[in-house]
């Protein structure tokens, strides 16, 4: 689909300066008692594990099983949902969720926007799963029960276990923030966590420079 056709179908270029993301504690309240195993992902997950806020965050990412995304959407029904095309077409557009073409259905991100302020509030990852088992979107052989994927802060905020988060951050290991997260977390990983990360990296990113440091 070309750019003109995409715009005619409802896609548009988002104003990224309007990102004004919620904080994890706010989302935890909004999604309290939702019957879906969701968790904070990305850089915020690292900070929840470390127990300290180390930098500013331009967004907030959470993850949920793809087949239970509807339960999150229902709870956040007063907001709007968009699918960014990311690197699939390179247009930099976002699509209204209901109008996203089939090719974008394979894209895992969904942005949440406040219709009153037009502020972007949340990025939801729709992940593959099998019942209560999480499946890595990078390699379906990597699987874990959600009970092992999700950890909790003392005040009840769910976040992805750090070695799992680092597996996805490895794609951008050249970015200072992701390298800094790896450096901060590594000393706090026991041998079991390190072993899982090594095995997963060897499957997803063989030869990755972090492997020599774990």
Task: Give me the CATH number covering residue 17.
Answer: 3.30.460
Residue 119 sits in the same domain as residue 174? no
Distance CA 155, CA 142 (A): 29
Please tell me whether residues 114 and 46 are part of one structural domain.
yes
Same domain, 191 and 107: no
* Predicted confidence pLDDT, tens digits, the chain (214 residues): 666 667 766 889 999 999 999 999 999 999 999 999 999 999 999 999 999 999 889 899 999 999 999 999 999 999 999 999 865 445 588 989 988 877 777 789 999 999 999 999 999 999 999 999 999 999 999 999 999 999 999 999 999 999 999 999 999 999 999 999 999 999 999 999 999 999 999 999 999 999 999 9
pTM, two decimals, is: 0.93
Residues pairing with 108 in the sheet: none
Q: What is the pLDDT of residue 88?
A: 42
| CB environment 102-124: b (16+ within 10 A), e (fewer) | eebeebbbbbbbbeeeeebbbbb
Tell me: do 72 and 151 sit in the same domain. yes
Q: Provide the number of structural domains found in the chain.
A: 2
Provide the H-helix boundaries in 110-185: 146-149, 162-169, 176-185
Q: For residue 193, give its domain range.
A: 162-214
């Amino acid at each position: 689909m070309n750019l003109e056709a995409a715009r005619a179908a409802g896609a548009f270029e988002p104003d990224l300066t309007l990102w004004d993301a919620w904080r994890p504690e706010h989302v935890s309240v909004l999604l309290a008692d939702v019957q879906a195993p969701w968790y904070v992902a990305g850089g915020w997950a690292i900070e929840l594990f470390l127990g300290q806020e180390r930098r500013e965050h331009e967004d907030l990412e959470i993850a949920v099983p793809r087949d239970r995304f509807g339960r999150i959407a229902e709870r956040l029904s007063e907001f709007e949902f968009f699918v960014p095309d990311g690197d699939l077409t390179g247009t930099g557009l976002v699509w209204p969720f209901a109008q996203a073409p089939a090719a974008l259905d394979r894209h895992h991100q969904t942005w949440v926007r406040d219709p009153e302020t037009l502020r972007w509030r949340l990025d939801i990852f729709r992940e593959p799963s099998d019942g209560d088992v999480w499946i890595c979107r990078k390699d379906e052989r990597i699987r874990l029960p959600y009970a092992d994927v999700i950890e909790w802060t003392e005040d009840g905020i769910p976040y992805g276990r750090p070695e799992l988060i680092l597996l996805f951050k490895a794609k951008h290991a050249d970015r200072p923030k992701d390298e800094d997260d790896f450096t901060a977390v590594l000393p706090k990983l026991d041998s079991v966590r390190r072993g899982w990360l090594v095995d997963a990296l060897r499957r997803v990113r063989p030869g990755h420079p972090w492997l020599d440091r774990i």
